[in-house]
Amino acid sequence: MKAATAKAAVGFRNILYATDFSIAAANAIPYVKRITKHYEAHLVALHVHPPVVNPMTPPETWVADVEAQEARDQWSREDLARTFAGIPLEVQIEEGGIQENLRAAIEKHQTDLVVLGTRGRTRLGKLVLGSVAEEIFRAATCPVLTVGPHVDSSRGEDGQIRAILYATDLTSESQVAAEYAVSLAQEFQARLVLLHVVPEQTPNDLVMGSDVVQSTKKMLQKLVPDEAKTWSKTEYYVERGNPAEKILELAQLRESDIIVLGVKPEHGIPGAATHLPITTVHKVVSRATCPVLTVRS
């Protein structure tokens, strides 16, 4: 893999905050404020609700339903204006599906970053926002910052990022994410920690474990441009075991302020992936104590 470029710092100029006005969504607000202020960005707050008119209800109730929704929308606009007072803000409230409205909003506002909060896993082991969270960070054409239920928002109150953990499987999907990790480290003069997790060694492995570790570390080192040494301390880790567990462990150990991960684009039927077993990204997002930046290849 080639070294990630560091020609210019990451520039988040147009930020979209996706909210359903839940407590989980509110957990992301401190990060929305910090990032928007740091980059002097334009902020769009997007809320999508189901269609107001229900064909299954009596037509004589439709006018009242529309008026009630308009009142709720007005309250939402006023609440968001108070929440983000002093920040350039545009409130966009739409009805319909998340996917189509999110894509349209990203394109309309030339969005650089989507920020959302999620409640993580339920007792059934699924991500609440369920398909919504999965759809957003797999379908969004720009990076997505997800604030999970265990994130300590008091850390980084000064808006600074001091430690970045970039976990990679060394596939092509992770290359774009590497560029964001390197650029963020440059922007904040932060420590950059790179991690690759390999399977546990078995008796049938032909290559010695130490050889795998050394060769993998060399691949990680190639991801970081030489000039990065002048503005960032870099660390390289190769661990054996479960990827999600190792990412979470190292994030705690190195006191990471953000985790950067590459994700694959959505394939097949939209939302179908949400019915599969919980992915590594899901596990990390739902348990991490810092926000997770997912970057689609």
- Decide if 7 is inside a domain: no
The 234-240 sheet, strands edge to edge:
89-95, 42-49, 14-18, 113-117, 144-147, 292-296, 258-263, 163-167, 191-198, 234-240
Write the CB contacts of 35 (distance below 8 Å, at least 6 apart in sequence).
12, 15, 41, 113, 115, 145, 159
pLDDT at residue 197, rounded to an integer: 92
Residue 213 has pLDDT above 60, yes or no: yes
Q: What is the percent of the chain with per-residue pLDDT over 70, rounded to a whole number?
A: 80
For residue range 54-83, list pLDDT tens digits in order.
Answer: 777 777 777 888 888 899 999 999 999 999
In a domain, 2, yes or no: no
Mean pLDDT of 136-158: 82
Position 9 in a domain: no
**CA trace torsion 290, 158, 137, 49 (10° rounding):** 110
| Domain membership flag for residue 236 | yes
Asked whether residue 90 is assigned to any structural domain, the reply reads yes
For the chain, the 3-state helix, strand and coil shares in percent, each to the nearest 5, are 40, 20, 40
**Confidence category of residue 269, pLDDT binned at 50, 70, 90:** very low
Residue 49: inside a domain: yes
CATH number of residue 288's parent domain: 3.40.50.12370
Residue 286 lies in a domain: yes
**Looking at residue 291, what is its pLDDT?**
95
pLDDT in tens, 84-142: 999 999 999 999 888 889 889 999 999 999 999 987 654 433 333 444 666 676 668 89
The predicted model gives 172-181 an average pLDDT of 82
Question: pLDDT averaged over the chain?
Answer: 82
Query: What is the C-alpha end-to-end distance of the chain, expressed in Å?
Result: 14
- Residue 1 domain-assigned? no
pLDDT of residue 65: 80
| Contact by Cβ (8 Å): 88, 42 | yes
The predicted-structure confidence for 256-266, as pLDDT tens digits, reads as follows: 999 999 887 65
Domain count, the chain: 1
Three-state DSSP at 255 gives coil
pTM: 0.86
Q: What is the DSSP letter of 205?
A: -
Boundaries of domain holding 74 = 14-296
